[in-house]
Every structure is written in structure tokens, then in C-alpha cells.
Amino acid sequence: MATLPGGPFGPLKGKFGKLVAANWKGINYLREKPQKSNLPSTPAQIEAREKFKFVHHIIKPLNPYYRAGFKHLAIRKTENNVAFSLAYHKAISGLYPDFEVDYSQLTMSAGILDPLREVVLTQTTPQTLELSWEMEYFKKNCDFDDQLMVAILCSEVDLVDGFIGGTMRADQKRIIKFSSKFVGKKIAVYVGLYSLNQQKISNSQFLGTMIAV
């Protein structure tokens, strides 16, 4: 793939024989049209293709969180591209067809904002999680109005529950109701923060897995 600076008539766009000119995230580029092959796929090609599909399936429910959590890393790429690369290289093990997910290695945000301190997650009543944490004052990389985002991921039903914003670091506690579709199934819980002006993001924290009741 080659990049193309804008010429006197503006950037190229469209098909030119076997080549395609297009623009993506402000970058003009030229690529070759994909060619169909009648050759059978090799085991390595099948492995790579199936792992790609598996990772996409696992992370897709978290897409709304990635738009907030990886916005500062999405330079000449999308937030989903960032999330996919991290999951593909860190959170997936095994060989096709027996891929496994290490939920502790999935992330939904990354940045320099201080994470929550002394986080405690408990399941109190049916379809309810209680999240509590300690507040640290007068620190450079945190503020009382930093906003929480909590994701409750249930891969068995391909859904996520939780929230983005509406709870501050200074609140020190949040009761979270989750979907009845999660009951009896494994859930993984993550928390992250972003500053009120959205200029700073924290690394997300994995709070564990449990069977939802």
C-alpha cells in the first residue's frame, strides 16, 4: 500500500485498473484490489483467519468503551484496531479450534490517569454488583470529578452491561444492576476512568470473573 499526497486536482479516489485509491482517517492511499484464489487454504491461513474471527467476537460487545478508552491511541487507526491488537497478542491462547480467553489480559482503556485505589467488588443481591473504592486527594494525576466507566462482559451471550460516566471518583461507591440474561453465566468486570474534559484516561482494571446470580 502506498500513500498519496494531494495533487493539484485534489486526492485521487476510485479504481484505476487493478489499483484502488481511497482516503482513510485523512490519509490518501493506493492499494491493489484483492484477488480471488482457487487454492485451498493452508493450516496456517485457517488458524490466522479463525483467530481473527474469535478475537473480533470476544471484543465486539466492548466497542462503546473503546471509543472513550483508546481515543488517544487511535492515531491513523481506529479505537477498535487498538483494542483488537491488544487482545490478539495478549489475551488469546491455544490453537484452533480450542482458543481460550484470558479475561485478565483484556483491556478497555489505556492512559496516564491514576486508576482507582483499594477497589472492592461484591455481588450483594440478585443481578446487582456493589463497587467501592478509596478516594485519594491532592494527587497530580487524579481529580474528584474523574468519571467512571464499568463494563460487565458476558461472552456466553455476547453482551456487555454497565455504564460510561455518571459516577465520579469522589463518590467512592456505586451499585450496578445488570441484565437478567447474565444470571447463571460467567461475567468479567472491568473499571476505568476518564477526566471530565476527556483529555486523560486511566488504564482499565480487571476486577475478576464470577458466576452471576
45-74 pLDDT per residue, tens: 999 999 999 999 999 999 999 999 999 999
CA-to-CA dists, residue 126 to 24, 86, 180, angstroms: 46, 33, 9
Residue 11 lies in a domain: no
* pLDDT at residue 26, as a whole number: 65
pLDDT one-digit tens code per residue, 69-85: 999 999 989 999 999 99
In a domain, 192, yes or no: yes
* Domain-located, residue 102: yes
| CA atoms of 88 and 103, how far apart (whole Å) | 12
Predicted confidence band of residue 7 (pLDDT cuts 50, 70, 90): low
pLDDT class of 2 with cuts at 50, 70, 90 = low
- pLDDT at residue 3 in the model: 55
Neighbours of 51 (CB within 10 A): 16
Per-residue pLDDT for 185 more than 90?
yes
Query: How many residues are recorded in the chain?
Result: 213
Examine residue 21 and state whether it is found in any structural domain, yes or no.
Answer: no
Strands (E), the chain: 2-3, 14-16, 19-24, 27-32, 92-93, 100-101, 117-123, 128-134, 147-154, 159-168, 173-177, 186-194, 205-211
For 53, the domain range is 43-211
pLDDT digits (tens, 9 = 90+) for 113-156: 999 999 999 998 999 999 999 998 878 899 999 999 999 999 99
Residue 202 lies in a domain: yes
Where does 60-118 have alpha helices with state H?
A: 63-69, 79-90
For the full predicted model, state whether its pTM sits above 0.75. Answer: yes
Say if 6 falls within a structural domain. no
pLDDT, residue 174, reads 98
What CATH number does the domain containing 74 carry?
2.60.40.10
Count helices and strands (H / E) in the chain.
3, 13
Does residue 16 belong to any structural domain of this protein? Answer: no
Cell of 116: 482507582
C-alpha dist (Å) from residue 204 to 69, 151, 154, 160: 8, 10, 17, 15
In angstroms, what CA-CA distances link 151 with 25, 141, 208?
A: 28, 23, 12
How many domains would you assign to the chain?
Answer: 1
- Report pLDDT digits (tens) over 19-41: 777 776 666 767 777 677 788 88
**Do the domain assignments include residue 8?**
no
Gap between the Cα atoms of 9 and 189, Å rounded: 51
pLDDT confidence bin for 43, thresholds 50/70/90: very high
